[in-house]
Amino acid sequence: CRLPTCFMPNSGIPGGLARSQTPMLVYFSFDDAVTPWTKSFFDQLFKKSRTNPNGCPIAATHFNSHQNTVYKLVKELYDAGHEIASHSISHRTPTTWWRDASQAEYKEEIVGQKNNIHKYADVPLNEIRGMRVPFLQLGKDNQFNMLEKNHFLYDASMSSRSDPPSWPFTLQYPKKLVGGLCSVEPCPTEPHNLWEVPLNNFYMGSDCSSPMVDGCRPATKEAALKYIRRNFQSHYNSPNKPPFGLNMHASWFAYPQNFQAMDDFIEELISNEDVWIVPIHKVLQWTQNPTPTSELKDFEPFACNKH
């Protein structure tokens, strides 16, 4: 098993890099419809003046579903350097539908939404590389076989309680999904040539834990900032220094204290020379080609306006 196409779970820092030469990669992912209301938050959090150490704007990944989406705004996000990925057409209930769906049903929903994003937001098909299943309800091997057959690069649906938190990994060895790495059944049981970007659980003390940032409800701005910072620190200080994923719904920002805390937190992050805020597929490009922090300003995948 070797990079760039194979990377076992729990195998430390990619390429065996030293912690001191490993950048702190941070990614934001937002699920569901893109609307004028959600877009107003993205425009503030990812405003052009906020840049990575190479001077290029920071950006996020958007797992987009069809209903209520204003595709003109999806295009604006894409043009500003954000990554757009598929989160299904219908986002239907019940949750168990996604557990039991056939490969053909997965294709209709996930490839179907990929086609919508291409058709209505003008995003090139080969730049829609990932998916997240609604409700983080995995669909065992049907979901993953569909992704493989349709040339997706990654899934980002696996809730993980791994300690320390996990790097993204590939799925050729499903028997290695141990230690809470896949904490919501049904997990894949067959090998797949795909990347998995797990959702490492967020913890708010012992009161609350969730794969989504918005699964916990801090009462004040100070509590929200403390909550986000603590989870960042548990990644930053971990021996394997894994990427820090903030997976969430923009609806968390309906509570202004949460939005203000996130706005402050991003301002803190970008003042660090070893922190890079990039979309998920760029985290994967780094994982596939581990490049020391000292050489990262010239790392091509992180260049401005690269998709």
Q: Which residues bind Zn ion (CB under 5 A)?
A: 31-32, 134
**For Zn ion, which is the closer residue by CB, 32 or 109?**
32
> How many residues are present in the chain?
307
The residue sitting closest to Zn ion, measured at its beta carbon, is 31
Least separation, in Å, of the C-beta of 212 and Zn ion? 9
Least separation, in Å, of the C-beta of 272 and Zn ion? 31
In angstroms, the CA 280 to CA 298 distance is 19
Least separation, in Å, of the C-beta of 169 and Zn ion? 23
What phi, psi does 297 have (nearest 5°)?
Answer: -65, -20
Contact of 289 with 281, CB cutoff 8 Å? no
Least separation, in Å, of the C-beta of 62 and Zn ion? 11
**For Zn ion, which is the closer residue by CB, 98 or 302?**
98
* Token pair 């209505």: residue: 120
Least separation, in Å, of the C-beta of 113 and Zn ion? 11
In angstroms, the CA 245 to CA 276 distance is 12
* Token pair 């649906």: residue: 157
In angstroms, the CA 37 to CA 152 distance is 29
Least separation, in Å, of the C-beta of 29 and Zn ion? 11
Q: How many other C-beta atoms are found inside a 10 Å radius of the C-beta of residue 5?
A: 11
Beta-bridged to residue 210, according to DSSP, are 202
Produce one character per residue of 147-176: b if its CB has 16 or more CB atoms within 10 Å, e if not: bbeeebbbbbbbbbbbeebbbbbbbbebeb
Contact of 197 with 280, CB cutoff 8 Å? yes
Least separation, in Å, of the C-beta of 138 and Zn ion? 14
In angstroms, the CA 201 to CA 160 distance is 6
